[in-house]
Amino acid sequence: MNRRTFSSMAALGVASISVVPSSHASSAPVSSGKELSRLLAANQAVREAHTIDGAFDAWLQITRTTFPVVQATALTVRNEPGGDPRPGTVRRIYSTVPQSYPVGGWKKLGGSDWADTVLIRREVLVASGKQALAYYFPDHELLSSLGAVTLVNVPVVSCGQVLGAFAFFCDRPLTRAAVTDELILLTSLAAPLFVAPADETRS
């Protein structure tokens, strides 16, 4: 069983029990029929898309029905061989704003408060308002120009390993409570997209 297949099965396992760790979200289970329908639709979108971008697009369309996402990007992460064992080198693999945040290129973010929160501690980061955006993101002015009032970063974790993270641009003030169990589960279902072959056709 390859890593991609295993990640997909692990994600489905998470969805099937409808519970996430308390360190990531509240302990309330996903229980409504609408929530389950969205999870199943997101899983189908990832399974049946012909390209990575197509899967991300379909997945995001479903996610937008439950979370106020204006724009989004996704980063994959790697460790440098023989270097710092902590994750921190990232590459953008998906973007709804490619003119401002294009796909490609590896960038070192290890050692930053953002990396420590999202990649090391594997915590959801909610940066809401100009002060919080400026603290975590050197490009906060660009983020604001794209309509981001809040930036929500959700790590993508499988088998205890951080595969990457989503960045959700939101056009309203939000708190950590806005990141629901359902959003965490939807994020988990996208895990296979972060381990797809690098040379796979994107469009």
162, two tokens: 């951080």
Reading the block at residue 25, the tokens are 């979200």
Any idea which residue has 């994600």 for tokens?
11
The CA–CA distances, whole Å, from 86 to 17, 47, 105 equal 30, 31, 19
Q: What is the reported pLDDT for 173?
A: 97
Amino acid occupying residue 6:
F
Mean pLDDT, to the nearest integer, of 16-44?
64
pLDDT digits (tens, 9 = 90+) for 144-198: 999 999 999 999 998 888 999 999 999 999 999 999 999 999 999 999 999 865 5
Instruction: Of 168, 162, 170, 152, give the one whose Cα is nearest residue 188.
Output: 162
DSSP alpha helix (H) spans, 2-126: 3-17, 33-48, 52-63, 113-115
pTM: 0.81
Instruction: Report pLDDT for 8.
Output: 45
Kind of pairing, strands 89-95 and 104-108?
Answer: antiparallel
Q: pLDDT tens across 99-139, in order?
A: 999 998 888 876 789 999 999 999 999 999 999 999 999 99
Rounded Cα distance between 145 and 71, Å, is: 12
- Confidence band, pLDDT 50/70/90 cuts, at residue 143: very high
Residue 160: what pLDDT? 85
CATH topology of domain 3-194: Beta-Lactamase (3.30.450)
Give 67's pLDDT tier (boundaries 50, 70, 90): very high
Residue 106, CA distances (Å) to 45, 113, 138, 190 in order: 27, 18, 17, 21
